[in-house]
Amino acid sequence: IHNNAQNTEEAQIAFDGITYAKGSSTLKQLLYLIGYDTFKRGVQEYFQKYQWGNTEFKDFLGSLQQAVSLNAKESGSVDMDLSYWSKQWLDTKGMNELQPVIEVKEGKVSVFKVVQGFAPNGDQVLRSHKLEVAFYYEDSDEVVYEGIEILPLNVTYISKFVGLKQPKA
């Protein structure tokens, strides 16, 4: 979804419903992947550094990468390479389809997996995803929310739901 435009007119011509939808999805995925505070820190640094100037995508990604690396250093967590994420999400066409599959035995979740399909009419690529899953229960107002990571594979098994009571939805 990123493309070079020599001027504003070229940029407007290239911008359509597909670009808007995928652009929104990728920004949401990136925000969820690196976290709100890190995303905010990177965007603030980007606007501060490049105010009143022209930029390229590498400048935006570089500011976010700097925030991610700084956060990793401060928290003692593992640094992540956003160029890998960018190649998966921005240099390929389409959006993958994700299908949750729940197997239940004796009223409890025995298997929870997410099956990932290739994007219809897109590139034959599987991507990493980070998202939230919610379990709703028929007999109570209880809702269980859990963040999960989907690997760039056809099937990702999620063990944290095994043993929970069967959700309504």
Confidence (pLDDT) at 2: 55
Determine the residue type at 68. V
61 and 88 in contact (C-beta within 8 Å)?
no
Mean pLDDT for each 10-residue chunk of the chain (169 residues)? 64 58 80 93 97 92 96 90 90 89 96 94 90 88 89 95 89
Structure tokens at 65: 């990468």
Structure tokens at 71: 């956060």
The H-or-E segment that residue 122 falls in is none
Confidence (pLDDT) at 78: 85
SS3 content of the chain, % helix, strand, coil (to 5): 40, 25, 35
Structure tokens at 46: 């980007």
Confidence (pLDDT) at 150: 93
Q: What are the beta bridge partners of residue 130?
A: 149
- The rounded distance, in Å, linking the Cα atoms of 81 and 159 is 26
Confidence (pLDDT) at 10: 65
CA atoms within 13 A on the CB side of 153: 9
The angle that helices 57-75 and 36-50 make with each other, rounded to 10 degrees, is: 130
Which 3 state secondary structure label does DSSP give 39? Answer: helix
Confidence (pLDDT) at 103: 96
For strand 143-150 and strand 97-105, is the pairing parallel, antiparallel, or unpaired?
unpaired
The H-or-E segment that residue 52 falls in is none
Q: Is 164 exposed, middle or buried (0-12, 13-18, 19+ CB in 10 A)?
A: middle
